[in-house]
Amino acid sequence: MGKIYDRLAQDYRIKEGLKACIGCGTCTAICPAAEFYRYNPKKIVTIVQSRDDDAIIELLKSDVIWYCGECLSCVTRCPRKNAPGLVIVALRALSIELGYFAESEKGRQQLPLMHALQRNVLNYGYCVYPMTFAYEMHPEYGLVGKWQKEHIQDVYERLGAHLGQVGPGALRKIPQESLDELTAIFDLTGATRWMEIVEEKSQEKAREMGLSIEEYEAQAFTQTNACHLNPEN
Amino acid sequence: MSQNIVVIGGGPAGIEASRRLRDLGYTPLLVEKEPVLGGHLARWDRLFPDGVEARSVLEPMLQDLDGIKYFTDTEISSINRLKDTWVVKFSNGLSAQVRAILMTTGFDLFKAEKKEEYGYGIYERVITNADLEAWFKSGAAPQFDHVHTIGFVHCVGSRDEKAGNRQCSKVCCVTAVKQACEFKEKFPETTVYCFYMDLRMFGRKFEDLYLKAQKEYGIRFVRGRVSEVSEDIDGHLFVKAEDTLFGKPMKIKMDMLVLMAGMTPAADTQELSRMVNILPGEDGFFQPQSLVSNPCTSSREGIFFAGTATGPKTLPETLSEAGAAALAIDRYLKTPLK
Amino acid sequence: MLYQGKQKIWADYQKEIPNDHWFYVRSCIRQTFFPASEKMFLEILRNRLGKDIYETPSHTTCGGIAYHSEAIPQETVMTIIARQFALMTEAGYENYVCSCITSFGLYNEVMEDWREFPELEAKIRENLWKATRREFKIPKYLAHASDLIYKFRNEIAEQAKFRLVNKNTGEPLRVVEHIGCHYSKMFPSKGVGGAEYPYVLTGMVESWGGEVIDYPERRHCCGFGFRQYLVKANRGYSVSNTHKKFESMEPFEPDMIITNCPGCPYFLDRWQYVIAEQTGKTYGKDGYGIPVFTYEEVAGLVLGYDPWDLGLQTHQVAVEPLLDKIGIPYHPEDKYKGLNGKQLQRPEFPMNIKCC
């Protein structure tokens, strides 16, 4: 039992999610990520269960832990009351803390993802917000979405939203005091620290890859290798 | 006048123990809540490993009940301790004062509808091992035409924390293999799958049956617990499981699915335990003094167990235990009181 | 299909849902893509049913999407949630209703964690005090907004002007119901009907005259997957999951889809557009898609609200064929107008999927 496993075992997601796996495969049978990606939640839980630090570190550095879509279908089915989805979240958290995320293509996506989400939460108080939801980044939003963005004030008004306005209502302007409280929470509980870690490690990795940080971030957001996909599909 | 002994439960354990007790000179009072004696054995067609007909075991037993007083459609209303005896009241109004009670209450089959993701009771083409065995026994026409593919799902309600049963039900694996072979005998063109986690072929000749299933019957064994069953527009089933040996999730279309429902503690166990003031085990089965050396005696004077009342067992084990319980009772009754 | 089998399961998974006095928190995705739905939820509960539903402007995101994208650690999201509970406590409420399914799942998970690990709850209380000087009580009841509409589905049926019935054939509409994964997959007992045969939407559909269809991939995730959608490189995962569902439901010829999660209707709607533009395939009749609705939109439709007040003009898959089937009147010329009839330039239409 090594140091990495010990650290992982402190995570509440492991305490909740890893009782003992018998390798029956009901989780993998139902997992959407196992259908489309080269992913197998049973294998990952078995590796964590083995308490083999080297194998776990390899996981933390690999693309594999980033395939899960956190639908938690695995939790419904496991006969031992394990939660592979929660084990994955714990692995991801540790991968970020230790900086290993930057070693994999899917892990490097943390930079653009965290930027977008943390900024939305701290600046506006929402995880997703129309003013920062760019049609160019989301063509699947549809031609009606494009229209909605082009006429943003009129459309949201028509729908009865309260976009950027004071008082209760959809998409209201959340009071600055509340946003300040969120910042204080971020600073105290580690979200700010995570952002610092991710930015620092991403800078290092970008340098290593010979990219500017902007190039690195853009690549992380858009690039994907076919090697991730399940060949059966 | 010979001593009375109350035997609660008229399945193979109760019947066999009653015969041995009678042979030892006692008068068993055999109480059975169903309308007929025989328990689950009365509903089975053929037994593993050799395919012996169940009735060839049960019928000789049922023809040898002279000297045994048995009451069907009868339950236990109350049991109370009176000095060194037990006063037992039956639901038919009779009562008995005895020094020994033998609990042979057996098991209940796991209610497969509780495993909601398998769709028993919702999808018509999903049946249980009990349903299939009953159909084999009845000799009736098949319910569904053109069963091209059939699957047997091991561990339904067993080894399942979510279903509330951690225990392995012991006999379902060999029963699944038996039924798979029997089905293939009747319908040689059908593709037969067995979805298992471990294949528990522990008894003599069981591995031979497994080998036969593979070689002669071409049964396909998939090591993966079934995760979900769903129904197509034409009523056929989709089964999702992972082939864990290949590490691949699979979705197979089936015409029928047989759920191997496991053994759970009989519903009466809690109530009877309360009546005689003993605690059942954490898993809900009766708790003998020792699972190893004293499987028939309980922690209470004059209360004995035999058969699946204390946990999943095969039929030969049950019959042996019934004999052992009879001897234990005899020993107890012949020991002078302190 | 033996309906009685499902009824037995539904009988097992009933949960207590209080009648009144709720503290309401909104959903980031619902507000961004379906703000009219949230407005309709409050309209129905406050004005049609006379309930007390309170919203404070100071409430924020629960942080769920950020948490499930590993943008923030668990301790942060628990403290944000604690802050939300503090706002509820300060406003004098003990019943908490949230609009988002991810939130619902996360609130349940957090409360379970605190129940099992009291030291964790103590730590979060300390965090909240240090960061904001607030204190909180744990809600007595937690419901999802769809639970409330479910609870009052018969009252809504009584007031309804329309039913989910094909007005030409008299047949109930064939409805696909899609439940958000985080509603009951993690804690089946916290969802009405459990995880395998959830009843929260089925109950609404049946009460309003429709017929629910069971198809093989009914329980399958729509494929949001958080990072699997939010990062462009991963979107193949997201659309593949939705595609799988549509391929599975196609033979059953559904008339419409009803959902209770904020994200799912967005994905089930927009991915139909993407699949059509990329492959030419559509799943509805005559080149249309299968219209996807939030439960508030369906409730609003049966109650007789104007489809454009309900925000249906912002769906990519056209709803008009369904409105025609039910016999709900609408003004096509008003579809893309702003408030007070303000003229706006209309959106372009896609190549391969019919829109109105």
Residues C103, C75: Cα–Cα separation, whole Å: 15
pLDDT computed for residue B145 by the predictor: 84
Average pLDDT over residues B170-199: 97
- Best to test chain B binding among A16, A21, A26, A45 (most B CBs inside 10 Å): A26
CB neighbour list of residue B116: distance below 8 Å, 6 or more residues apart:
C9, C194, C195, C196, C197
Q: What is the pLDDT of residues A48-99, one digit of tens each?
A: 999 999 999 999 999 999 999 999 999 999 999 999 999 999 999 999 999 9
Whether residues B228 and C219 touch (CB distance < 8 A) is answered with yes
**Ordered structural domains, chain A, with CATH:** 3-98 (1.10.1060.10), 107-223 (no CATH)
What pLDDT does residue C5 have?
87
Q: Do residues B287 and B278 touch, judged by C-beta distance below 8 A?
A: yes
Q: What is the CA radius of gyration of chain B?
A: 22
Q: Return the number of CB contacts < 8 Å for B and C.
A: 41
Report, in angstroms and rounded to the nearest whole number, the Rg of chain C calculated over CA atoms.
Answer: 20
Interface touch A16/C113, C-beta < 8 Å: yes
For residue C111, give how far its alpha carbon lies from the nearest alpha carbon of chain B (Å).
20
Residues C65 and A161: their CA atoms lie apart, in Å, by 21
Per-residue pLDDT averaged across A142-151, rounded?
96
Among the four given CATH numbers 1.20.1250.20, 1.10.510.10, 1.20.1050.140, 3.30.565.10, the one describing domain C20-145: 1.20.1050.140
- Per DSSP, A100 falls in state G
| pLDDT of C298 higher than 80 | yes
Give the residue range(s) of CATH 1.20.1050.140 domains in chain C: 20-145
Q: How confident is the model at residue A230 (pLDDT cuts 50, 70, 90)?
A: confident
Average pLDDT over every residue of B123-150: 94
Percentages helix, strand, coil for chain A (3-state, rounded to 5) are 65, 0, 30
CB A87 within 8 A of CB A45: yes
Q: Which fold has domain B4-106+266-334?
A: FAD/NAD(P)-binding domain (3.50.50)
CATH number of B112-262: 3.50.50.60
Determine, for residues A155 and C231 on separate chains, whether the beta-carbon distance falls below 8 Å.
no
> Domain spanning C153-341 has what CATH number?
3.40.50.11810
ipTM over 0.85: yes
Residue-wise pLDDT tens digits, B82-127 = 999 999 999 999 999 999 999 999 999 999 999 999 999 999 999 9
Does residue B338 register a pLDDT over 70?
A: no
Confidence of residue A1 (pLDDT cuts 50, 70, 90): low
Q: Which residue spans of chain C are classified as CATH 3.40.50.11810? A: 153-341
pLDDT of residue A233: 60
Taking residues A126-155, what's their average pLDDT? Answer: 96
* B228 interface with C at CB cutoff 8 Å: yes
Say which amino acid occupies B119: G
Subunits close to A (at least 3 CB pairs below 8 A): B, C
Residue A142: the pLDDT is 95
Q: Is C336 on the interface with A (CB under 8 A)?
A: yes
Domain boundaries, chain B: 4-106+266-334, 112-262
Q: Do C6 and B122 touch (CB under 8 A)?
A: yes
Which residues have CB under 8 Å from C297's CB, separation 6+?
Answer: C34, C36, C37, C40, C310, C311, C312
Burial C53-73 (b: 16+ CB within 10 A, else e): bbbbebbbbbbbbbbbbbbbb
- Asked if B231 lies within 8 A of C251 by C-beta distance, the reply is no
CB contact under 8 A, B230 and C5: no
How many whole angstroms separate alpha carbon A74 and alpha carbon C333? 47
- pLDDT grade, residue B2 (50/70/90)? confident
Confidence band for B1, pLDDT divided at 50, 70 and 90: low
Inter-chain CB proximity A147 and C336 less than 8 Å = yes
CA distance A93 to chain B (A): 26
CB-based contact B247 A232, cutoff 8 Å? no
Q: What are phi and psi of C192, to 5 degrees?
A: -65, 120
pLDDT at C12: 86
Query: Residue A2: pLDDT band by 50, 70, 90 thresholds?
Result: confident
Q: Is B164 on the interface with C (CB under 8 A)?
A: no
Q: What are the tens digits of pLDDT across the range B278-302?
A: 999 999 999 999 999 999 999 999 9
Reported as a pLDDT band with limits 50, 70 and 90, residue C238 is very high
From chain C, the residues in CB contact with B232 under 8 A are: 216, 251
| pTM for the full predicted model | 0.95
Residue of C2, C185, C253 for testing the chain B interface, max B β-carbons within 10 Å: C2
pLDDT tier at B336 (50, 70, 90 boundaries)? confident
- Stretch B160-174: mean pLDDT, rounded? 96
Query: pLDDT confidence of B240, banded at 50, 70, 90?
Result: very high
Please name which of B105, B73, B99 lies closest in space to residue B85, comparing C-alpha atoms.
B99
Res. C50 pLDDT band, cuts 50 70 90: very high
The minimal CB distance from B122 to the residues C5, C215, C251 is found for C5
Mean pLDDT value across chain B: 96
